[in-house]
Chain A
Amino acid sequence: MNVAAPTAVSVSRDGDAAVVRLSGTWSLRDGLRPVAEVTHALEASPPPRSLRLDAAAVERWDTSLVVFLARIHDSCSEREVGLDTSGLPKEARQMLELARQEAVLGGGAQRALADRSPRERRRAARGPEPWTESVGWWTIHSFRSLGGKLDFFGSTVLSCVRMLLGRTRRLRTRFPHHLQQAGLETLPVVALMGFAIGAVLALITTGQLEKLGATPLVARIVSIAVLREMGALMVGIAIAGRLGAAIAAEIASMVAYRELDVLRVMGVDPFDYMIAPRVVALAIAGPLLVVYANTLGLLGGLFVGVTAVGLPAQEYIERTRAVLTYKHMLAGLIKGLAFGVVTGLVAGYYGLKSGRTAGAVGWAVRKAVVAAVVGVVLSDAAITLIFKWVKL
């Protein structure tokens, strides 16, 4: 059985030249050989003028030898010591020359390197930037990003107007499908969540009102809470999670497969085909889902009020009807509309903004869902404040 000869390096001096003799078997699997003994020879006094490599005794070699040679090459270049590679195998010499060549790039690629952003160029030239500069870049980026968002918002509004005026009818968008996806297919989730929210609210308020001897007020409190806030907010969270993810994924996939470019080439405005039908569908489905969720929420409250609290069903319904004013119902409907629009805008924005890489769709979905949920909660707070201001 043949045993591979161990890698060996010996350094000697021949007048002005240092001579490095290499032998044995060089394999990546055995690790990389350090060049300390060679650099030590280069720093001898007096320093050598040249370094000669002799690989006559090398039995087998792979990239590990080329890495070793490249390190020696770099050490010699730093110290301006000439390197004589004539004693190397022809192939190793070629690989060393290739490894130390300048980048061999096509014209477009050369331009790409030159076309680095100002920030990249400064980082390359001056190293890590101070925090003040980072804040400055963040501010610039935020303003540019805000511009992109406003542009998207404006394009979407115009596109929705065109759609509502019937000017995009010949496009034959999948509006009925989007409406079904936003409305009918979301009903089961909303039903479950609505009933549960109503029931939980009734249970919690009962616990507190019993201490005051005011349990009949359960119906009133549950009804107002569901109609004005909880029903709409719950619908907002449901559509932000379910439809925000679905819309962002659909649009991001279309971007990844260059369908966006194809639409533009066909003369179709992507906003007319991809964004507006989805936003309008959500704007219609949002209030309808709120009505559905409110109904189920009230039924949940009734169920707990009758079974757990022991209130007569007739009395509970009468007390609920007493607070069923248009004001409370309108508040919920407006919120439903707003949450639908916010989700459609956010999901469409991140879907369109995604890239063409394998992870782009995942990125778009993640950003869209988080931004849609945050958007729903913040817009809920804002609308509630406005209602308080206008006394709705």
Chain B
Amino acid sequence: MSVGGEVVQRDLDFEVAAGQIFAVIGDGGSGRSLLLRHMAGLQRPAAGDVLYDGESLWGGSEPDRERLRHRFGILFQGAVLISEMTLLENVAVKLRLNTALTDREADEVAALKLAIMGLRGYEQRYPSQVSEGIRIRAALARATSLDPDILFFDDPSALLDPLSSRRVDDIILGLRDTTGATIVLVSHDLPSIFALADDALFLDAEKKTMIARGRPEELRDHCPDAKVRAFLTRGRA
């Protein structure tokens, strides 16, 4: 993994089990979001590949990659929604373009997705008219609109107050339980990491590689690397 020719991470080799919530954690500048972009097929890594059920993401052709991307749902950092579309349209567009549903049916499914996120009555609001927490939930509805197998969440709790952050955590757990999707989560919000992650990977910005792997609680209590323990205890370990 590199940015502008400078290596950010190297020698990353790990597997994510289906149906798990997998957290990518690490210190600032360690390339967590970049790793997520490589895994989600948004940016080609400097070297290496990502395999889904044995199928290469970066070794295949662009149409193959596009087909794989249809299995993904992505929540970008800051819950980017198209400002000129209502919340309903933000969710419905993906359905209109990728299924045989009529516009009316796509709107019905989009309204249902928003309702599942607790946003009934907000369909016709524009992103600028709602709070950050509601925007994130609408972005989650969009990410799950096509019932993806794999969900990528880039710092979903950033900028949220603790209660809203907890609500988003509950929604993510609910998504995993109801859809069985595999979730890759980039976060530095410790309560969310401990509440959600079944498994975690720690990226180190100095060593430019992964230095720990395991359940967040185990890493916090038993990881041999002091930096990982310090990270997961806010420097108290």
**A109-B130, A109-B133 known; A28+B95 contact, CB < 8 A:** yes
**A30-B100, A67-B109, A99-B112 known; A358+B120 contact, CB < 8 A:** no
Indicate if the CB atoms of B95 and A101 lie closer than 8 Å: no
What 0/1 pattern do residues 144 to 163 of A give for CB contact below 8 A with B?
A: 00000000000000000000
When distances are taken between beta carbons in the complex, the residues of chain A under 8 Å from B119 are 103-105
Interface residues of B in 83-100 (CB under 8 A from A): 83-84, 95, 99-100
Q: Which of A70, A103, A359 contacts B84 (CB 8 A)?
A: A359
Q: Which of B100, B134, B147, B174 contacts A94 (CB 8 A)?
A: B174
Q: Which residue of A lies closest to B148 (CB)?
A: A62
For the complex, what is the distance from the CA of A357 to the CA of B180, rounded to whole Å? 35
Interface residues of B in 143-183 (CB under 8 A from A): 146-147, 163-164, 167, 174, 177-180
Q: Which residue of A lies closest to B83 (CB)?
A: A357
Indicate if the CB atoms of A108 and B116 lie closer than 8 Å: no
**A32-B105, A106-B133, A356-B128 known; A94+B178 contact, CB < 8 A:** yes
For the complex, what is the distance from the CA of A260 to the CA of B179, rounded to whole Å? 45
Q: A67-B109, A98-B118, A103-B118 are in contact. List 15 more A-B contacts (CB 8 A).
A: A28-B95, A28-B99, A32-B108, A63-B147, A91-B177, A91-B179, A94-B177, A98-B178, A99-B112, A101-B115, A101-B118, A103-B120, A104-B119, A106-B163, A357-B83
Indicate if the CB atoms of A28 and B109 lie closer than 8 Å: yes
For the complex, what is the distance from the CA of A29 to the CA of B100, rounded to whole Å? 6
**A31-B100, A108-B131, A356-B128 known; A102+B112 contact, CB < 8 A:** no
When distances are taken between beta carbons in the complex, the residues of chain A under 8 Å from B83 are 357-359
When distances are taken between beta carbons in the complex, the residues of chain B under 8 Å from A28 are 95, 99, 101, 109, 146-147
Chain B nearest CB, measured from A59 CB (Å): 14
What 0/1 pattern do residues 114 to 130 of B give for CB contact below 8 A with A?
A: 01101111100011111
For the complex, what is the distance from the CA of A92 to the CA of B116, rounded to whole Å? 12
Question: B220 in the interface, Cβ–Cβ < 8 Å?
Answer: no
Q: Can you spell out 8 A-B residue pairs with CB atoms less than 8 angstroms apart?
A: A28-B109, A32-B101, A32-B108, A98-B115, A103-B120, A109-B130, A356-B128, A357-B126
Chain B nearest CB, measured from A89 CB (Å): 9
When distances are taken between beta carbons in the complex, the residues of chain B under 8 Å from A100 are 115
For the complex, what is the distance from the CA of A113 to the CA of B122, rounded to whole Å? 9
Chain A nearest CB, measured from B26 CB (Å): 29
Indicate if the CB atoms of A63 and B174 lie closer than 8 Å: no
When distances are taken between beta carbons in the complex, the residues of chain B under 8 Å from A30 are 100
Chain B nearest CB, measured from A19 CB (Å): 24
Q: Which residue of A lies closest to B98 (CB)?
A: A29
Chain B nearest CB, measured from A42 CB (Å): 19
Q: Which of A62, A99, A357 contacts B147 (CB 8 A)?
A: A62
When distances are taken between beta carbons in the complex, the residues of chain A under 8 Å from B188 are none
> A interface, by DSSP: helix, strand, loop or mixed?
helix
When distances are taken between beta carbons in the complex, the residues of chain A under 8 Å from B116 are 95, 98-99
Q: Which residue of B lies closest to A356 (CB)?
A: B128
Q: Which of A32, A98, A113, A357 contacts B121 (CB 8 A)?
A: A113
Q: Which of A105, A355, A356, A359 contacts B134 (CB 8 A)?
A: A105
Question: A66 in the interface, Cβ–Cβ < 8 Å?
Answer: yes
Interface residues of B in 41-68 (CB under 8 A from A): none
When distances are taken between beta carbons in the complex, the residues of chain A under 8 Å from B180 are 91
Indicate if the CB atoms of A70 and B112 lie closer than 8 Å: yes
Question: B113 in the interface, Cβ–Cβ < 8 Å?
Answer: yes
Indicate if the CB atoms of A101 and B120 lie closer than 8 Å: yes
For the complex, what is the distance from the CA of A101 to the CA of B167, rounded to whole Å? 15
Q: Which of A29, A62, A98, A112 contacts B174 (CB 8 A)?
A: A98
Indicate if the CB atoms of B178 and A91 lie closer than 8 Å: yes
When distances are taken between beta carbons in the complex, the residues of chain A under 8 Å from B146 are 28
Interface residues of B in 179-208 (CB under 8 A from A): 179-180
